[in-house]
């Protein structure tokens, strides 16, 4: 019988960074993962962006998260011996003069100034990009190549005998007075980091997850790769091509690209980019979102040996490092969870 402190189910970005933080805190772990390419972590753009949404507002918890986010991933790169962090300015064109005037007042305010690299009152002059009213150029922004991060972390876990490719069999989980037993494992706790598969887990399917399908295009075009353009869609330079997305579909939760999705992305792309492009790939994935767009973090009220670390949606790159650290502190009795993410908000 193999004994560990924590059994972690799932190795997307949530499971990967939770395992990492537990190991840093001296806890023994073992990761069980259903290996598949059809995960949101493998298909996501991986953006981190302090000013988001159609209304260009400061993202939730930006002041707590973004000042240390790049340092977190840079330290992880050193530990894993890989490159997956790509700091890069994000350019957000204004749609009208009113937006320009509004940000003229806000740009120097303490609330926003740390995230703004430049405020442009006229076109930045990027070939093909429609920005007659100028726009915001952001800092503390960029992307994380999640497939590289996850692949390197998996190699690290495998080299230490802390990982197995396995579909978790829920009926094999036994609850003990002081922990859990699963096949040849005994653990103090099991934590599920399964992404959208949480809706098929009999222990977590009562939680109000609201998964959402997203589609991405990979295009070839003559565009400068010096910054990420993001307004209506993001245009993310990657390895000589560009990722463009994304869509939001709560109805059809599969991994199949659709013509409707392609049309939706290309029509929105045409509003900010006028040059010709060629679509070279089209992918789809399902994000593990929740009913209130806040993650589910904590232990099940009826079974304190069973934890959940899931539901980070489109902002996993930004949110997971912060809440993985907070969750580990909570598990070790060194702190509390934010009420906005605490599982108890939906378990009452």
pLDDT digits (tens, 9 = 90+) for 41-59: 666 789 999 999 888 889 9
pLDDT band at 39 (very low <50, low <70, confident <90, very high): low
**188-203, pLDDT tens digit by residue?**
999 999 999 999 999 9
* pTM of full prediction above 0.85: yes
Percent of the chain with pLDDT over 90: 86
H, E, C per residue of the chain: CEEEEEEEECCCHHHHHHHHHHHHCCCCEEEEECCCCCCHHHHCCCEECCEECCCCEECCCHHHHHHHHHHHHHHHHHHHCCCCEEECCEEEECCCHHHHHHHHHHCCCHHHHCCEEEEECCCCCCCCECCCCCEEEECCCEEECHHHHHHHHHHHHHHCCCEEECCCCHHHEEEECCEEEECCEEEEEEEECCHHHHHHCCCCCCCCECCEEEEEEEEEECCCCCCEEEECEEEEEECCEEEEECCCECCCCCCCCCHHHHHHHHHHHHCCECCCEEEEEEEEEEECCECCCCCEEEEECCEEEEEEEECCHHHHHHHHHHHHHHHHHHHCCCCCCCCCCECHHHHC
Q: What is the average pLDDT score of the chain?
A: 94
More confident position, 225 or 204: 204
Q: Kindly report, residue by residue over 319-344, the tens digit of the pLDDT.
A: 999 999 999 999 999 999 999 999 99
Residue 40 has pLDDT above 60, yes or no: no
């Amino acid at each position: 019988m193999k004994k560990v402190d924590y059994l972690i189910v799932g190795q997307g970005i949530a499971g990967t960074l939770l395992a990492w933080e537990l190991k840093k805190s001296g806890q023994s772990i073992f990761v069980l993962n259903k290996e598949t390419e059809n995960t949101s972590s493998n298909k996501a753009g991986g953006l981190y962006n302090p000013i988001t949404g159609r209304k260009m507002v400061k993202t939730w918890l930006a002041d707590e998260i973004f000042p240390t986010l790049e340092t977190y991933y840079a330290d992880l790169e050193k530990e894993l011996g890989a490159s997956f962090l790509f700091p890069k300015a994000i350019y957000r064109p204004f749609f009208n003069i009113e937006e320009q005037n509004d940000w003229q007042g806000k740009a120097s305010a303490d609330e926003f100034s740390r995230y703004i690299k430049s405020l442009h009152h006229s076109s930045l002059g990027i070939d093909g990009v429609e920005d007659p009213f100028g726009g915001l150029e952001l800092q503390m922004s960029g992307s994380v190549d999640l497939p590289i991060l996850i692949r390197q972390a998996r190699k690290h876990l495998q080299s230490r005998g802390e990982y197995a490719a396995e579909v978790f069999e829920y009926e094999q989980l036994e609850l003990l007075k002081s922990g859990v037993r699963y096949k040849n494992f005994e653990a103090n706790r099991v934590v599920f980091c399964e992404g959208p598969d949480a809706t098929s887990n009999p222990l977590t399917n009562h939680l109000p997850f609201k998964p959402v399908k997203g589609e991405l295009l990979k295009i070839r075009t003559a565009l400068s790769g010096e910054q990420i353009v993001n307004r209506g869609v993001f245009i993310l330079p990657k390895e000589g091509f560009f990722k463009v997305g994304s869509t939001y579909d709560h109805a059809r939760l599969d991994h199949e690209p659709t013509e409707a999705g392609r049309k939706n992305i290309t029509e929105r792309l045409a509003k900010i980019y006028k040059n010709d492009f060629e679509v070279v790939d089209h992918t789809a994935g399902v994000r593990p979102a929740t009913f209130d767009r806040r993650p589910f973090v904590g232990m099940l009220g009826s079974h304190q040996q069973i934890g959940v670390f899931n539901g980070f949606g489109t902002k996993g790159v930004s949110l997971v490092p912060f809440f993985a650290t907070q969750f580990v502190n909570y598990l070790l009795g060194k702190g509390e969870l934010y009420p906005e993410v605490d599982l108890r908000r939906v378990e009452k």
